[in-house]
Amino acid sequence: MTEFILNQKKIVTDILPTTVLLDFIRREQKLTGTKEGCREGDCGACTVLIGELINNKIHYKTVNSCLVPIGSVHRKHIITIEGLTENGSLTPIQNALVDEGGTQCGFCTPGFVVSMTSYFINNKNYDVQKAINTIGGNVCRCTGYHGIIRSLNRTAELLNSADGKSHLEKLISANIIPEYFKKIPKQLKEIKSAKFKIEKPKYLIGGGTDLYVQKWEDIVNSKSLIIVDKKISNEIIKKENEIIIGASVTIEDFITNKTIKKYFPQIEEQLELFGSLPIRNKATIAGNIVNASPIGDLTNILLTLNSKVHLEGKKKRIIPLENFYLGYKLLNKKKNEIVTKITFEIPPKNFQFNFEKVSKRTYLDIASVNSSIGILVKDNIIQDVRISAGGVAPIPLYLKSTSEFLTNKELTSQNVKEATQIAFSEISPISDARGSAEYKKLLLRQLIYAHFILLFPDKINAEELL
């Protein structure tokens, strides 16, 4: 049985746990405000809010309901557009969208309202750029978005003058969310944790953000194990000299984690280029690794950090991430093994890091080429360096020869230039929808240049490189 609260309504259902949440909402519950636009998490028309109890406090985030198995929403609060308007009047966000021309054909609008609401739920102080990032997973084909941004600004002004002891009270008094939200945590606590035991599952579903894009028709009728409730760790722990990342840590948890931010302060902004917020809210670290996409953004970063993959099957194994990929979508992993965690060493002092990604569209797009660098320079000598490259080989690639070439070399433009020539010998890009092989080669050169120009502006002269 899956139990959860849908808006104000308690749901207890024995529907297959693999059922797509969007279909449950639209077909079973006949709540048609949530729209199907693409079924791949690329349009945001199906965005809903999910509230989850963490340490007895409820946290709300947005997800693409087209990629969510219903089994994963057990003991959670799902809010659709209908759940935001149950008291009859328009919320300030809805009013603003009406007044500012933020809606034309209306098909994307419910998704926008939900995403905008999530911004105001989760942010006490208004920052327009952050608000835009929050709704970055919602695509509108009519308005050109300016009316939607005006609506954000207008809502923020209104919320600013709202009364309330707590942020929640303020949200309710401003009518951004209905009053019943207050009662939800208590109701959720009354639902017991789920136990899904599946013998020999066909799929193991973590975030599902890629599985449900590629194979949803097969999954919905299959026996699958949906990872819920810490069955596999979703924590990031610092232990001695190591950072341990639970396999089901989401991308958003990773980039906003205090420990990660401490050592990689720029990563939160850089990985805003990873999918969209609803995708990052669901996609897991292990998923990104096991997916084995040659252009996985996180894999790319983890390669430069010399990460290790911890596998558990009949026995436990630890292998370096760079040895985990044997060929296109081919893993050094037995069928019964699962990834339980990823570890890497805490970077030394003066360690520098950069991540570069270029795609056809800057945000919410898959890279044409991405690249990361982890580098330690002392007295103008490169002590240690690891560079990775995505989109230029059948696997997420650690540029071994390039990195080795640069190690112990003087930090000069000439050496960086030569390094790119070595990189060319390590890659084998193909032409596809993300660019021609020739382009990807050039782009990798540029991104390697970008690493050095950005990290060492005093030492590396862009004009010499180009």
Partner 1 sequence: MKNIDSVRHVRGESIFIDDIKIPQNTLFAYVFYSSIANGKILEIDFSEALKSKGVKGIFSAKDIPGENQIGGIISDENLFAENEVHFIGHPIAIIVAEKYLQAKEASKKIHIVYEKQKPILDPREAAKNDSFIIPPRVFQLGNTDETWQNCDYIFEGKVDSGGQEHIYLETQGAVVIPFEDDLLKVYSATQNPTAVQRTIARILALPMNKVEVNVQRLGGGFGGKEDQATAWACMTALAAYKLKTPVKLILNRQDDIRITGKRHPYSSDYKIGLNKEGKILAYEVTFYQNAGAAADLSPAILDRTLFHCTNSYFIPNVKATGLSCKTNLVPFTAFRGFGGPQGMFVIESAIHHAANEMNIPVTEIQKKNLLNENDEFSYGQKTKNCFTIKSYKLSEEKFDLKKLQEEVDEFNIKNFLVKKGLAVMPITFGISFTTTFLNQASALIHIYTDGSINVSTAAVEMGQGVNAKMKRIAAKILSVDESRINVDSTNTSRVVNTSPTAASKGTDLNGFAVIDACNILLERLKKVAAEELGEDDWRNITFKNEKVFDENEPTTLTFVDVIKKAYFNRISLTAQAFHSTPNIYFDTKTNKGNPFSYHVYGTAIIQVTLDCLRGTYETDFVKVVHDFGESFHRQIDIGQVEGAIVQGIGWMSSEELIWNEDGKLLTDALSTYKVPDIHAIPKEINIEPLPYDKEKLLNDEFKDQIGPLNSKAIGEPPFMYGIGFYFALLNAIKSFNPKLKLKYNSPLTPEKVLMMLYENNF
| Interface with partner 1 in residues 123-142 (CB under 8 A) | 132, 135-136, 138-142
Position 176, amino acid? I
Tell me the H-state helices in 285-345: 285-290, 297-304
Binding characters for partner 1, 274-313, by CB under 8 A (x = yes): ----------------------------------------
Task: Give yes or no for a contact between 60 and 121, defined as CB atoms under 8 angstroms apart.
Answer: yes
Nearer to partner 1, 9 or 360 (CB): 360
Nearer to partner 1, 188 or 366 (CB): 366
- Of 17, 37, 287, 374, the one binding partner 1 by CB under 8 A: 37
- Of 7, 29, 118, 143, the one binding partner 1 by CB under 8 A: 143
Beta carbon of residue 227, minimum distance to partner 1 (angstroms, whole number): 24
Instruction: Kindly identify the residues of this chain, within the stretch 438-457, that bind partner 1 according to CB under 8 A.
Output: 438-439, 442-443, 445-447, 449-450, 453
Q: How many CA atoms lie within 13 A of 16 on its CB side?
A: 12
Residues with Cβ within 8 Å of 127's Cβ and at least 6 positions away in sequence, in order, are none
Nearer to partner 1, 214 or 401 (CB): 214
SS3 222: coil
- Of 307, 435, 444, 460, the one binding partner 1 by CB under 8 A: 435
Nearer to partner 1, 106 or 313 (CB): 106
Beta carbon of residue 263, minimum distance to partner 1 (angstroms, whole number): 25
Q: Taking Cα atoms as reference points, which of 428, 427, 465, 437 lies closest to residue 449? A: 465
| Alpha-carbon separation of residue 429 from 93, 309, 369, 405, 423 (angstroms) | 46, 26, 10, 21, 12
- Of 126, 145, 196, 263, the one binding partner 1 by CB under 8 A: 145
Instruction: Kindly identify the residues of this chain, within the stretch 44-103, that bind partner 1 according to CB under 8 A.
Output: 45, 80-82, 85, 90, 93-94, 97-99, 101, 103
Instruction: Kindly identify the residues of this chain, within the stretch 188-227, that bind partner 1 according to CB under 8 A.
Output: 213, 217, 220
Nearer to partner 1, 39 or 77 (CB): 39
Token representation of residue 39: 């079924």
Decide: is 106 part of the binding site for partner 1 (CB under 8 A).
yes
Would you give the end-to-end CA distance of the chain in angstroms? 62
CA-based torsion, 271, 275, 277, 280: positive or negative:
negative
Instruction: Kindly identify the residues of this chain, within the stretch 354-413, that bind partner 1 according to CB under 8 A.
Output: 356, 358-366, 368
Q: Taking Cα atoms as reference points, which of 264, 286, 271, 421 lies closest to residue 347? A: 264
Q: Helix, strand, coil: what percent of the chain each, to 5?
A: 35, 20, 40
